Copies of this chain bind each other. A is one copy, B any other.
Amino acid sequence: MEAASYITRRIKPLEVLDEEGLELIERNADQLLEEVGIEFRDDPEALAVLKEAGAEVEHERVRFPRGLCRSVIQAHAPREFVQHARNPSRNVRIGGPHTVFAPGYGPPFVRDLEGGRRYATLEDFRNFVKLSYLSPYMHHSGGTVCEPVDVPVNKRHLDMVYAHMRYSDKAFMGSVTHPERAEDTVAMAKILFGEDFLRKRTVVTALINANSPMTFDATMLGAAKVYARNNQACIVSPFILSGAMSPVTAAGTLAQILAEVLAGVCLLQLIAPGAPCVFGTFSSSISMQSGAPTFGSPEAALVVYGAGQLARRLGLPYRSGGALSASKIADAQAAFESANTLQPTLLAGANFVLHAAGWLEGGLVMSYEKFAMDLDQLGMLQTFSEGVDLSENGQALDAIREVGPGSHFLGCAHTQANFATAFYQSSINDNNSFEQWREEGRLDADQRANQVWKRMLEEYEMPPIDPGLNEALLDYIAQRKAAMPDSDV
């Protein structure tokens, strides 16, 4: 059975806040925007646009009259949008009851069972693009699936964007580390999709982190403006570790996140009305003992759920969650933390889920084994999202009539008819007896995952691409690289 190219949830999100709580947090966000304001650094254009729209600008601090951001957003921003892939059957719908999984983003290191922990390379980058391409449960190719540190920083984005375009046919993310790199991404997307197509449709999503608390910097804003002006999607994401970038409490963190998203998306809607924007947040906490980031915590889950409710009320697609972990290896800690993030992510109604596979060490490491484990978990979440089948076959009354008291369902007609699709089949878990498991070498989940990702890469076949387009992309990259200094940071 081929999985859908994205999830359509048949189960309503879990709500951790009632109407009164939501209104309180919205009021608090408005109050923060009005009283404290948001800093937009080194970006005179942003300040001018916001002032023009009615905000009060003092140096780089912008204070918003109550309701201004919300009304701008609700007048222009789409509630959901399609991100097109070069293979149209891989298009993803971001918003509403849909959930799209994308791989981990940003790790400078990779880890596998044999090679241990080491700096990531372009080959690793391509491998993770391939693994995402191969899994029916990974709907999106992601962005910086790892940092290819063997490529100079100023040229890296070209190879990364090309890898997504060439080694996969799924939707992907653009470079945000410099406005020029965003321009390169858009230029390459124009080659791949055609200028006309791109003018009307979204083919790139971009992760625009806020410098929480309550600050946007020129790099991120510059990249965001490039994408928004080209009708490409910006995920405006407060990057929150409660206790460091926000208060230690969920209600305080939620008000701050909402304020930051309101300000950032408002700006983009003023600059490019109607450009797709996502209510994003990366949200976890720090340890009060050591200051280290923690993941899979109950406090982080409350924020993920609460922010989902706020996003839906605002009318924007929602990005949060992932398979987050602080563990150094793919052990029980990694699994508990990841599951404790993934479950809230889905049940919070997240529409776009970055870091859905591979993460270890709080995002410093992309692990091959963890990636394979997380893919398996995503398959389970996709199955769960289908909800309870209430068809006649789902009700199965005839099966119970046929079997009757004291017998078993193993061979009954209904079981035989549903044999192939009855249950999600895990690629990682070992359900055999202790004796069989012992005979087969006492493998743990990490070792089985090692076999899984290697088999996947062995079976990988490159998706076809128009040779002319491919050449045009390679020409663009060669020309751009030639115009750049050999290396810079």
CB pair A11 B16 closer than 8 Å? yes
In the complex, are the beta carbons of B415 and A243 less than 8 A apart?
yes
Cβ–Cβ contact A400 & B255, under 8 A = yes
A422/B288 contact (C-beta < 8 A), A383-B299, A395-B249, A405-B214 known: yes
Q: Which of A357-392 contact B (CB under 8 A)?
A: 361-362, 364-365, 373, 377, 380-381, 383-384, 387-390
Q: Which of A328-380 contact B (CB under 8 A)?
A: 328-340, 343, 347, 361-362, 364-365, 373, 377, 380
In the docked arrangement, what's the CA distance between A249 and B399, Å? 10
Given A36-B401, A39-B405, A249-B389, A335 and B339 touching (CB < 8 A)?
yes
B423 in contact with A297 (CB, 8 Å): yes
The reply to whether A403 and B213 form a contact with Cβ atoms under 8 Å apart is yes
Residues of B within 8 Å of A337, CB to CB, are: 429
- Residues of B within 8 Å of A291, CB to CB, are 410
| Contact (Cβ within 8 A) A395 B24 | yes
Whether A415 and B248, one on each chain, are in contact in the complex, defined by CB atoms closer than 8 angstroms, is: yes
For the complex, what is the distance from the CA of A211 to the CA of B405, rounded to whole Å? 9
User: A55 to nearest B CB, angstroms?
Assistant: 14
- Are B394 and A249 closer than 8 Å at their CB atoms? yes
Q: Does A293 contact B (CB under 8 A)?
A: yes
A45 beta carbon closer than 8 Å to chain B: no
Q: Which of A65-73, A174-182, A430-438 contacts B (4 or more CB under 8 A)?
A: A430-438
Within 8 A of B (CB), among A416-455: 418-420, 422-426, 428-434, 437-438, 442, 444-446, 449
Chain copies in the assembled complex: 2
Partner-contacting stretch, out of A27-35, A218-226, A459-467, A481-489: A27-35
Q: Judge whether A51 is part of the interface by a CB distance below 8 angstroms.
A: no
Given contacts A291-B410, A423-B243, contact A400 B15 (CB under 8 A): no
In the complex, the chain B residue whose C-beta lies closest to that of A373 is B332
A331-B333 contact given A214-B404, A387-B16, A426-B294, CB 8 Å threshold:
no
Contacting residues, chain B, for A31 (C-beta < 8 A): 397
**Chain B residues positioned under 8 Å from A87 (CB to CB):** none
A393 interface hit (Cβ, 8 Å) = yes
- A92 CB to closest chain B CB (Å) equals 21
Do A246 and B287 contact each other (CB < 8 Å), given the known contacts A17-B388, A28-B395? Answer: no
**Residue A12 at the B interface, CB < 8 A?**
yes
List residues of chain B with CB within 8 A of the CB of A247. Answer: 396, 399-400, 409, 414-415
Q: Nearest chain B CB to A368's CB is how many angstroms away? A: 13
Chain B minimum-CB-distance residue to A365: B434
Contact between B36 and A384, CB atoms less than 8 A apart: no
Chain B residues within 8 Å of A41, by CB: 406
Q: Which of A252, A294, A422 has the most CB of B within 10 A?
A: A252
Q: Does A407 contact B (CB under 8 A)?
A: yes
CB-CB under 8 A from A377, the residues of chain B are 336, 340
Q: Which of B251, B299, B405 contacts A396 (CB 8 A)?
A: B251
Q: Report whether B405 and A249 are in contact in the complex, using a CB–CB cutoff of 8 Å.
A: no
Q: Does A256 belong to the interface (CB within 8 Å)?
A: yes
Is A301 among interface residues, defined by CB-CB distance under 8 A? yes
20 contacting pairs across A/B (C-beta < 8 A): A12-B15, A16-B388, A21-B388, A36-B401, A39-B405, A244-B409, A248-B396, A250-B394, A251-B389, A251-B394, A251-B395, A252-B394, A255-B395, A296-B380, A298-B424, A299-B383, A328-B434, A332-B335, A333-B444, A339-B340
Known contacts A213-B400, A251-B396, then 13 further A-B pairs from the complex at CB < 8 Å, ordered by chain A residue: A14-B347, A24-B390, A36-B400, A41-B406, A117-B434, A213-B407, A246-B400, A247-B400, A250-B389, A290-B431, A299-B423, A331-B332, A331-B446
